[in-house]
Amino acid sequence: MTGNRVRVRQNATALWTLVTKEYFRIVRIWVQTLVPPAITMSLYFVIFGNLIGRRIGEMDGFGYMQFIAPGLIMMSVITNSYGNVVSSFFGAKFARHIEEMLVSPMPASLILLGHVAGGVIRGLLVGFLVTLIALFFTELRPEHPFVTMSVVFLTAVVFALAGLINAIFAKKFDDISIIPTFVLTPLTYLGGVFYSISLLPDFWQKVSLANPVLYMVNAFRYGILGVSDIPIDYAYFIIGVFIVSLYSFALLLLKRGVGIRE
Amino acid sequence: MRALQIRGLTKVYDNGMHALKGIDLDVEEGEFCALLGPNGAGKTTTIGILTSLINKSAGSVEIFGHDIDRDLTLAKACLGLVPQEINLNLFEKVLNIVVTQGGYYGIPRDLAMERAEKYLRQLQLWDRRDEVARSLSGGMKRRLMIARALVHEPRLLILDEPTAGVDIEIRRSMWSFLRQINAAGTTIILTTHYLEEAETLCRHVAIIDEGRIIENDRMSRVLRKLSVETFVLNLDREIQAPPRLPGYEVRMVDASTIEVDVQNNRDINDLFADLSGNDLRVVSMRNKANRLEELFLHIVDNKAAANRGAS
Ligand SMILES: Nc1ncnc2c1ncn2[C@@H]1O[C@H](COP(=O)(O)OP(=O)(O)OP(=O)(O)O)[C@@H](O)[C@H]1O
Ligand SMILES: [Mg+2]
């Protein structure tokens, strides 16, 4: 009994140590972690929102700038929560200081949670920055604050988990850019960040529905603007399924020691 | 209490390499044990399995009675590892590295800080606590890894070649540091290729070769097995030919230096008497090689010869 309580306290210390380490890593290398998304997103807002957007007119009853702002926020949350875990975990594997955790009594589930927390923190920090930038260009007043906050948080969790799995399998630096380039970027660009799928022909609308990012972006847009191409409960359901399955898979890989133990 | 008990430990790597072929090894609590063996013998593989960095293929390991298959968490808490390869986060500050490691072991931050200071001071790294690990020299990085391995004050400390590439002065200060923590009760297992180091520090020695333990005994008993010792003698004058010393094998190194093989059933007094009989005085004398080194080569050579015979 007391043994268990000691264990719980030690685990809490271990998790807190990992989370703060991840947080300070993000802050320490802010030029790599926080500045690039801020610059890219500012460019998107200026070029797509402002210059081109004026010619596009309305999308789903909103100005184009207002329409893409939620999409761009989500896009940066997705890439950054993914990117943080992939580079932090792969970096630790590559330089072998992952062994500091592996030799310690810290269970695999905490190694997982700590890294995911790091990804979520970076995703949300960047999301917050991009929101601030968006406010220079347009007005954003969440229609459904709870939906907005929960969707952005859960989406960050999904992609932090995905990034962890990518890092577990990665053997060289190339391997941590392949998935983002060939899978993540296409999915987000085609996930309704820049357009409403109602613009697409029937067939492509159906194809788009197979893209999980579409649900997340639309749920978030619904949270802010109150419009969505898809029903919101679908979005929660899909996000939930992804979290549960990615979590179980990542935990299994860590417990087996895939990519980290001979 | 037994600090470590290994039974039938086997490791086959994915590429088919049979690195460990059934190892049995016991280390008693409080022991200072050398784990020796040529390159590729399986030392790091064994240590990797103990510290759960490598999955074993078969066999069992108990650390202070905690089986690593059943009570891994408890077993890990007893262990500290200084690995062979540098595995530091080079962009992290020295003090943070030690304190963070303490955190992973569940040590509250204040206590981890206190211990980090204690060990960094003892290992002469405290002045560099705010520098990133990358800026440390090779020898300092090794000492940092020792401080990191001690922050949770493990009962069993395993060091895989901690003194590789460390200068002689620092090496000696590391020796006295290790002796001190061993005297304070920490069981130590050390691998090294400096056999003088093993002989000076360790009371127990296990020799592993090609994945098998070929020697495992108290250091003093192992050294007694050495059947021949070679001494190098400096004489007070030059001679033309090796002196006739019945019962000893004598070789000339140069005009005033000879090498003498002494069987361990003979004593050196006789040798000096015989030299005096030849009207030769000895100015100075030393062992040709470190005793453990000679024994080691002897054992490993014998085994290689036996293998050649068998195949
Ligand atoms: N990851 C690996 N995959 C395949 N074979 C390996 C791996 N690591 C080690 N080996 C092989 O296992 C054997 C034992 O290696 P190990 O590292 O345990 O030796 P060692 O006794 O520590 O040697 P050294 O004194 O050089 O450090 C060697 O033949 C080595 O080539
Ligand atoms: Mg080795």
Q: Cα(B152) to centroid of ligand 1, in Å? A: 28
Average pLDDT over residues B254-259: 89
The C-alpha atoms of residue B290 and residue B192 are separated, in whole angstroms, by 14
Residue of chain A nearest B80, judged by CA positions:
A103
* B3 pLDDT higher than 90: yes
Q: What is the DSSP string of A10-62?
A: HHHHHHHHHHHHHHHHHHHTHHHHTHHHHHHHHHHIIIIIIIIHHHH-EETTE
Which class for A212: exposed (0-12), middle (13-18), buried (19 or more C-beta within 10 A)? middle
- Which residues in chain B are closer than 8 Å to A257, comparing Cβ atoms? 55
* A34-38, B159-163, B257-261, range with the lowest pLDDT: B257-261
Report which residue type is found at B256. S
CB of B94 within 8 Å of any CB in chain A? no
Which class for B22: exposed (0-12), middle (13-18), buried (19 or more C-beta within 10 A)? middle
Q: Cα(B194) to centroid of ligand 1, in Å? A: 19
The C-alpha atoms of residue B67 and residue B45 are separated, in whole angstroms, by 18
Specify if A136 maps to a domain: yes
The C-alpha atoms of residue A120 and residue A118 are separated, in whole angstroms, by 5
Specify if A262 maps to a domain: no
* A72-106: pLDDT as tens digits: 999 999 999 999 999 999 999 999 999 999 999 99
Residue of chain A nearest B105, judged by CA positions:
A104
What residues line ligand 1, using a CB cutoff of 6 Å?
A 262; B 13, 15, 17, 19, 37, 39-45, 84
pLDDT band of residue B161 (cuts 50, 70, 90) is very high
Query: What does the CA dihedral A199, A200, A202, A204 come to, rounded to 10 degrees?
Result: -150
- Which residues in chain B are closer than 8 Å to A14, comparing Cβ atoms? 103-106
Contact B89 A261 (CB under 8 A): no
CATH entry, B228-291, from 3.20.10.10, 3.40.50.1820, 3.30.565.10, 3.30.70.1560: 3.30.70.1560
- Which residues in chain A are closer than 8 Å to B151, comparing Cβ atoms? none
Q: Distance (Å) from the C-alpha of residue B75 to the closest C-alpha of chain A? A: 8
Q: Cα(A215) to centroid of ligand 1, in Å? A: 49
Contact A99 B87 (CB under 8 A): yes
Residue owning the nearest CA to atom 7 of ligand 1: B13
Residue A35, domain extent: 2-256
* B93-97, B107-111, B162-166, range with the lowest pLDDT: B162-166
Specify if A261 maps to a domain: no
Facing A13 at nearest CB: one of B77, B92, B106? B106
Q: What is the DSSP string of A79-106?
A: HHHHHHHHHHHHHHHHSSTHHHHHSSS-
Specify if A150 maps to a domain: yes
Closest CA to A120 of A72, A156, A159: A156
* A107-150: pLDDT as tens digits: 999 999 999 999 999 999 999 999 999 999 888 889 999 999 99
Residue owning the nearest CA to atom 9 of ligand 1: B45
Structure tokens at A20: 């703060």
Cα R_g (chain B), whole angstroms: 23
Specify if A189 maps to a domain: yes
Dihedral sign, CA of B306, B308, B309, B311?
Answer: positive
Which residues lie across from B218 on neighbouring strands?
A: B204
pLDDT at B237: 87
pLDDT at B307: 64
SS3 state at B32: strand
Closest CA to B247 of B229, B224, B228, B263: B263
pLDDT at B310: 53
The C-alpha atoms of residue B240 and residue A115 are separated, in whole angstroms, by 76
The C-alpha atoms of residue A124 and residue B249 are separated, in whole angstroms, by 80
Q: Are B61 and B9 in contact (CB under 8 A)?
A: yes
* B264 pLDDT higher than 80: no
Q: Which residue has the higher pLDDT, A88 or B266?
A: A88
The C-alpha atoms of residue B177 and residue B196 are separated, in whole angstroms, by 17
Total domain count for chain A? 1
pLDDT at B260: 86
pLDDT at B221: 83
* A148-202: pLDDT as tens digits: 999 999 999 999 999 999 999 999 999 998 888 899 999 998 998 888 888 888 8
CA B278 to chain centre: 42
pLDDT band of residue B160 (cuts 50, 70, 90) is very high
pLDDT at B72: 94
Contact A103 B76 (CB under 8 A): yes
Tell me the C-alpha to C-alpha distance, in Å, between residue A4 and each of A8, A14, A124, B76: 6, 15, 34, 16
pLDDT band of residue B247 (cuts 50, 70, 90) is confident
ipTM confidence score? 0.92
pLDDT at A79: 95
The C-alpha atoms of residue B114 and residue B151 are separated, in whole angstroms, by 9
pLDDT at B246: 81
Dihedral sign, CA of B152, B158, B163, B169?
Answer: positive
Q: Cα(B13) to centroid of ligand 1, in Å? A: 9
Residue owning the nearest CA to atom 19 of ligand 1: B40
pLDDT at A196: 87
Q: Distance (Å) from the C-alpha of residue A129 to the closest C-alpha of chain B? A: 26
Residue owning the nearest CA to atom 17 of ligand 1: B44
pLDDT at B250: 87
Looking from the CA of residue B46, the nearest atom of ligand 1 is 18
Mark out chain A residues that contact chain B at CB-CB < 8 A. 7, 9-11, 13-14, 16-18, 21, 92, 95-97, 99-107, 257, 261-262
Mean residue pLDDT of chain A comes to: 92
pLDDT at B16: 93
CATH tag, B2-224? 3.40.50.300
Contact B104 A97 (CB under 8 A): no
* B52 pLDDT higher than 70: yes
SS3 state at B252: strand
Contact B87 A10 (CB under 8 A): no
pLDDT band of residue B145 (cuts 50, 70, 90) is very high
Q: Cα(A157) to centroid of ligand 1, in Å? A: 39
Task: Report the percentage of chain B scoring pLDDT > 90.
Answer: 62
Mean residue pLDDT of chain B comes to: 90
Q: Distance (Å) from the C-alpha of residue A120 to the closest C-alpha of chain B? A: 21
Q: Which strands, in side-by-side order, build the sheet including B18-28?
A: B18-28, B2-12, B58-63, B66-67
The C-alpha atoms of residue A189 and residue A138 are separated, in whole angstroms, by 21
- Residue B101's contacts (CB-CB under 8 Å, 6 or more residues apart) are A100, A104, B148, B149, B151, B152
* B193-204: pLDDT as tens digits: 888 889 889 999
* A170-179, B77-86, B235-244, B285-294, range with the lowest pLDDT: B285-294
The C-alpha atoms of residue B204 and residue B218 are separated, in whole angstroms, by 4
Q: Are A259 and A253 in contact (CB under 8 A)?
A: yes
Domain locations along chain B: 2-224, 228-291
